[in-house]
Amino acid sequence: MTATDETSAGPVAVRCTYHPEVETLLRCSRCGTPICPRCGVRTPVGMRCPACTGTAVRGALETEKLVRAGGVGLLVAVPVGVLWGLAPEWGFYLALLLGFGGVEAMAKVVPGWRGPTLQAFAVGAVILGIVVSRWVVARQLGVDLGEVNQFTPRLQRGLYLRLVPDLLFMALPIAIAWVRFR
Ligand SMILES: [Zn+2]
Ligand SMILES: [Zn+2]
């Protein structure tokens, strides 16, 4: 990409932060992020980027960014899930942390982006965090995961002890993830 860069003072075409396939000379008047006519927002003080104006960017997100956002989501979701499993009595707060923490961390990687793909990734990360928490709970209760398929009384007891009361707490971060990238 730098092969054609010139050392002259003239504006150099760069790729739009939100649409890497678009070459552009536009930059956000506030933060300097390269933007293009598709995502730039016209304001009285010049073109601004979606992140600065809080506008949603839609369209196909680069796979690399999507994967990075998903990875960041998991980085938050998995430890929070472990904590949740170890301290189920903190379920409500950990559910909020899983939702807001995980989803906002993802939003930082892809500022301004919304859409069904991101929603799916965010909800997926949250659900994995929940699964991790259930796995830890199962371990804490002494439930052998090999019993899952047999649905033994011990597993059933574990389910009723923890899973049912926690269902509402589980719906919470999923809803947060869903709404955030809608
Ligand atoms: Zn900006
Ligand atoms: Zn753009």
Neighbours of ion ligand 2 (CB under 5 A): 16, 18-19, 36, 38-39
For residue 26, count CB atoms less than 10 angstroms from its CB and return exposed for 0-12, middle for 13-18, buried for 19 or more: buried
> For a pLDDT cut of 70, what percent of the chain falls above it?
80
Token pair, residue 146, equals: 């090999």
Ligand nearest to the CA of 28: 1
**Which SS3 state, helix, strand or coil, does residue 6 take?**
coil
What pLDDT does 6 receive? 47
Ligand nearest the Cα of residue 61 is 2
Min mean pLDDT across 16-20, 44-48, 105-109, 142-146 is at: 142-146
Ligand 2 mean position, distance from CA 67 (Å): 20
Mean pLDDT of 96-118: 90
From the CA of 179, how far away is ligand 2's center (Å)? Answer: 23
pLDDT value of residue 64: 83
Greater model confidence, 164 or 97: 97
Give the Å distance between the CA of 64 and the centre of ligand 1. 22
- Average pLDDT of the segment spanning 52-76: 85
Of all ligands present, the nearest one to the C-alpha of 14 is: 2
The predicted structure's pLDDT at residue 110:
86
The DSSP code sequence of 85-128 is HH-GGGHHHHHHIIIIIHHHHHHHHSTTB-SHHHHHHHHHHHHH
> Measured in angstroms, how far is the CA atom of residue 32 from the centroid of ligand 1?
6
pLDDT band at 1 (very low <50, low <70, confident <90, very high): very low
Query: Which ligand has its closest atom nearest to the C-alpha of 50?
Result: 1
Structure confidence at residue 97 (pLDDT): 96
> Average pLDDT over the chain, rounded to whole?
84
How far is residue 161's CA from residue 155's CA, in Å, rounded to a whole number? Answer: 10
Instruction: Give residue 8's pLDDT.
Output: 54
